Amino acid sequence: MSDTATSSVTDSAVLAAAADEPIAPQNPMPHRKVIRSWLKPMAQRNTLLALGLLVVDYALFLGLISAVVAVSSLWLKLLFGLMAGFVIGRLFIIGHDACHQSLTEHRDLNKVLGRIAFLPSLTPYSLWDVGHNVVHHGYTCLKGTDFVWEPLTPAEYEALSPVDRVLQRLYRSGWAPGLYYMIEIWWKREFFPSEKHMPTRRAIFTRDSQLTLGAGAVWLLALAIAAFATGQSLLTLWFFGFAVPFFFWCSMIGFVVYVHHTHEKISWHNDKLAWSKAQPFVSTTVHLLMPLRLGALMHHIMEHTAHHVDMSIPLYHLKKAQDKLEHMLPERIVIQQFSWRWYFDTARKCKLYCFERQAWLDFKGRVTAFPRRLHPIPTAA
């Protein structure tokens, strides 16, 4: 596209935004800078609100772990343990915002709050920063770079060992997102990662891993003291007060990152030029509509397109930003109403990926879906 044409596209997009007029689907996609300018009012941060959210969620987490200790019914211990795992997810989302420097206006404060919020999920702040902010956000759905739920090709799958093939089938069955996250992300890439998965060695990585190790040790020690003080089984309290919340959290985050970027309409790319032309900050992300206000309970992390367009938007403004995007860019954003039928149908279709045909495959190599472009008209340069 010529410079004159590009300027015309940009000017028309700016004027359309000023008049709150949607960009018609047949028109070129505006430049990302223009789209972000629409969302600039939503990027305002509120330190007191951020601190309040962190305090409330920590109080909920500590209260639920205390409830696990206090009740005698194993079913209630299980319930409170699961609820504590959900609150770990809420705390993680707050830490996620802090890591993006979108939680408060203060950079150093964000680093402190992020590390505090990440403690119950045993997430090393600096390692998450590299893997998520730099790699995932910088190269979303680019094969060979973005490792989060990266689909294998048929050849790659066949080259796996029998054990790894079984794991891949489990991961993509729809039943084991927690197993995927715990093994492939947390264990391999976050908790004292090996040089294979983190070639760059920094002292801050080790210190943050040690911090999370210490947090886990304090958590287990506190439960051990509670078991001794109340005459309960140590293993029972460790199971319901630590293992259940942690695995629920792993399942929650594994599920969330899966549904954010795995969909029969979402394309993966192995060519960087083709990937960049596909406007990946819009085209590789799903807005999942959750029932029963679960999206709000999850701090609006499901309003994910807005987050990928502009990571500086805090969680408490994401819904407004997502609404603005969907108003201005009709038919360009993947919007999906959640149902278990849809989820397991996606898991059935999205096993492997063929880059030559740009198609999702099952494990037998049969085509199950062709991702469609939501904006087939050439984009502005």
119-140: per-residue pLDDT in tens? 999 999 999 999 898 899 989 9
pLDDT value at residue 28: 86
Which amino acid would we find at residue 157?
Answer: Y
pLDDT value at residue 151: 96
**Following DSSP, what letter does each residue of 304-322 receive, concatenated?**
HHHHHH-TTS-GGGHHHHH
Tallying the residues shown for the chain, one arrives at 381
- Supply 294's token pair: 């679960």
Lowest-confidence segment of 158-172, 280-294, 311-325 by average pLDDT:
280-294
pLDDT value at residue 16: 53
Which amino acid would we find at residue 289?
Answer: L
Q: How many Cβ atoms are within 10 Å of 52's Cβ, its own excluded?
A: 11
pLDDT value at residue 378: 40
Comparing 225 with 27, the larger pLDDT belongs to 225
pLDDT-based confidence at 293, cuts 50/70/90? Answer: confident
- Indicate if the pLDDT at residue 2 is higher than 70: no
User: What's the Cα-to-Cα distance from 327 to each of 23, 29, 320, 323, 324, rounded to whole Å?
Assistant: 9, 14, 11, 6, 5
pLDDT value at residue 259: 96
Closest CA relative to residue 158, chosen from 348, 346, 361: 361
φ, ψ dihedrals at 211, nearest 5°: -60, -45
pLDDT-based confidence at 359, cuts 50/70/90? Answer: very high
pLDDT-based confidence at 194, cuts 50/70/90? Answer: confident
- Indicate if the pLDDT at residue 256 is higher than 90: yes
- Indicate if the pLDDT at residue 251 is higher than 70: yes
Phi-psi region of 338 (alpha: psi -120 to 50; beta: other; left: phi over 0): beta
Q: Apex CA 343: angle with CA 98 and CA 170, to 5°?
A: 85
pLDDT value at residue 375: 41
Mean pLDDT of the 305-333 span: 93
Question: Model's pTM, two decimal places?
Answer: 0.90
- Supply 168's token pair: 């891949």
Mean pLDDT of the 21-26 span: 86
Lowest-confidence segment of 67-81, 152-166, 265-279, 349-363 by average pLDDT:
265-279
pLDDT-based confidence at 21, cuts 50/70/90? Answer: confident
Mean pLDDT of the 212-228 span: 97
Provide the mean pLDDT of the chain. Answer: 90
pLDDT-based confidence at 96, cuts 50/70/90? Answer: very high
Residue 166 class from Cβ within 10 Å (0-12 exposed, 13-18 middle, 19+ buried)?
exposed
Instruction: Answer for the pair 208, 112: CB distance below 8 angstroms, yes or no.
Output: no
- Indicate if the pLDDT at residue 292 is higher than 90: no
pLDDT-based confidence at 14, cuts 50/70/90? Answer: low
- Indicate if the pLDDT at residue 376 is higher than 70: no
Under DSSP, the state recorded for 256 is H
pLDDT-based confidence at 327, cuts 50/70/90? Answer: very high
Lowest-confidence segment of 108-112, 131-135, 342-346 by average pLDDT:
131-135
pLDDT value at residue 200: 81
| Cα-only R_g, the chain | 22
- Indicate if the pLDDT at residue 67 is higher than 80: yes
pLDDT value at residue 17: 54
